Amino acid sequence: MLHAHLPFVRCRENEHCLEERWLYEAITETYIPLLRVLGSLIEDKVDFRVTLSLTPTLLEMFRDDLLRRRYLSYLDNLIELSEKELFRTRRDNALRGLARMYRKRFLETRDLFENSHRKDLSAAFGSLRTSGKVELITSAATHAYLPALMPEPAAVGAQIRLGADYFGKTFGARPGGMWLPECGFSPGIDRIAKEAGINFFFLDGHGISGGRHAIYAPVRTHAGVTAFFRDAESSKQVWSSISGYPGDFDYRDFYRDIGFDLDKEYLRPYLPEGIRTFTGLKYHRVTGGSAHKEPYVRQKALDKAEMHAAHFVESRGKQISSLHKTLGRRPLVTAAYDAELFGHWWFEGPEWLDAVLRRGAKEKAFRFTTPSEYLSEHDGIDTLAPSLSSWGEKGYSSTWINGANCWIYPHLTRAAGLMKLLTRAQVNGSDLRKRALAQAARELLLSQASDWAFMMKTGNASGFGKDKFREHMGNFLHLHREINGGRVTRKNLERLERQNNIFPGLDYKIFG
């Protein structure tokens, strides 16, 4: 189970927005490599299965013409920089081969994006569904941490319904399941999900009681939604940078980038607003815990990825065989990860994933499946009531509700209540007022994104997280005052519609 998500960031007035690069980096290092891996597996008729959630915010950015144009410019800059690096490293035996590798990768990526995928990654991922090997599912509209919104259930309903509706409009079919953002669950969310037509979702393992083996079979909630439970063992083996595979000394070091190493004047044309940041050209391997880093050797890293894939498949085989004996039935292991781990954080991740799926397809101890496929084959699923849980630190809500970010929730609860009142009061009105109501709904949805609270907690881009929350909440409150006062400022509304243009055609009544 791979969860692909980025927050909606679109700096319309700023051609060199640093935060937009999150999208461009992820397209280059994760999403296009993932399409390449899955496409190759399908072409080779490998009997694999993958479940992939694509959040509405990510899909909206995939489809935005402004961001598509800027992504091509981003790639052109990388190609130009890599050509300069070919010259700079021409006498360095350790680095010149890596400079060639990067130039080749960037050129291939550009060709795939512009020609093979026709600049439409939504359609590219959608085409995988016809293979029967890849199950696409949705997520909440703007990836809100849903337990924190439960004081105003209309907000949770809007997030879930819009997520399901958006998927249907994008791919022409309703989603079977949903990735609850951050695996965040509290009682009542299952009822709202069921009303939106969601058949299954994923929870963290401690969201269910009944012993440590309870997670190896799904349960049905009292509302009728099936919950699959993330397996901590298979997760830690891959995700952990300390005890997991990505920390191996032969893999490429994520943090050692020429954007921080080389002369700033040399790099200036390739740095957004002259700010040192990641360029994607990294010449060193993990090496060890010290600041000293040895040059990256690509073939050794690929060999290690193949070895780790073999180890993972063997480990799952042993785990499943042991569980089968203990439980007296065939267990289901749900291995769930952020998609961006593969390629972005862990450079060799796509090659590892490819090897795991190819090896696993030949494994006798287990087979791959998808949630919908599993449910079509199994009756008699137990009915139980999952508890409040998430896959965040300590397993509950401390990542998204803590001293660094708890101040946002009274605002979110009050704003959701105000939006609900607006929805019910505005039965009739001018086109301008209806547009203002729709934009108010967009701004509220954007303010609810779990990403802002996460940034405030971790300290990484904390200021940006605060700014984005205040921006969207401020926009909502301004529009609310104008709508309530019966005087909408056309110029301001048009500015917001151009800037935060997510979910065109949004029906503001979704909050009712």
Asked whether residue 37 carries a pLDDT value surpassing 90, the answer given is: yes
Q: In what order do the strands lie in the sheet with 2-4?
A: 219-220, 226-229, 200-203, 177-179, 134-139, 50-54, 2-4, 337-338
Whether 354 and 450 share a structural domain: no
Give me the pLDDT at residue 243, please: 81
Asked whether residue 416 carries a pLDDT value surpassing 90, the answer given is: yes
Q: Which tokens hold the place of 294? A: 């040895």
Whether 440 and 390 share a structural domain: no
User: How far is it, in rounded angstroms, from Cα 406 to Cα 466?
Assistant: 12
147 part of a folded domain? yes
Give me the pLDDT at residue 429, please: 75
Q: Is 338 annotated in the active site?
A: yes
Q: Distance from CA of residue 282 to its chain's centroid?
A: 23
- Report the number of distinct structural domains present in the chain: 2
CB 179 within 8 A of CB 54: no
Whether 180 and 325 share a structural domain: yes
pTM (two decimals): 0.97
Asked whether residue 427 carries a pLDDT value surpassing 70, the answer given is: no
CB atoms within 10 A of CB 249: 14
Whether 183 and 150 share a structural domain: yes
CB 138 within 8 A of CB 175: yes
Nearest in space to 6 (alpha carbons), one of 139, 129, 114: 139
Please enumerate in sequence order all residues whose Cβ is within 8 A of that of 325, keeping only pairs 6 or more positions apart, or say none.
none
46-50, 205-209, 381-385, 493-497: segment of lowest average pLDDT: 205-209
Which residues form the domain of 474?
403-511
Give me the pLDDT at residue 426, please: 66
Of the candidates 20, 135, 182, 348, the residue annotated as catalytic is 182
- Provide the 8-state DSSP code for 185: B
User: Where among 329, 363, 394 does a domain terminate?
Assistant: 394
Give me the pLDDT at residue 380, please: 86
CB atoms within 10 A of CB 426: 17
Whether 25 and 58 share a structural domain: yes
260 part of a folded domain? no
CB 37 within 8 A of CB 350: yes
Q: What is the mean pLDDT of residues 369-394?
A: 94
Q: What is the mean pLDDT of residues 482-495?
A: 95
User: How far is it, in rounded angstroms, from Cα 333 to Cα 395?
Assistant: 19
Give me the pLDDT at residue 214, please: 79
User: Is the alpha carbon torsion for 302, 308, 314, 316 positive or negative?
Assistant: negative
271 part of a folded domain? no
Q: What is the mean pLDDT of residues 329-338?
A: 96
User: Where among 336, 368, 394 does a domain terminate?
Assistant: 394
Whether 155 and 31 share a structural domain: yes
Asked whether residue 499 carries a pLDDT value surpassing 70, the answer given is: yes
Could you tell me which residues are beta bridge partners of residue 132?
none
Whether 421 and 360 share a structural domain: no
Q: Which tokens hold the place of 324? A: 């089968």
Of the candidates 114, 338, 471, 497, the residue annotated as catalytic is 338
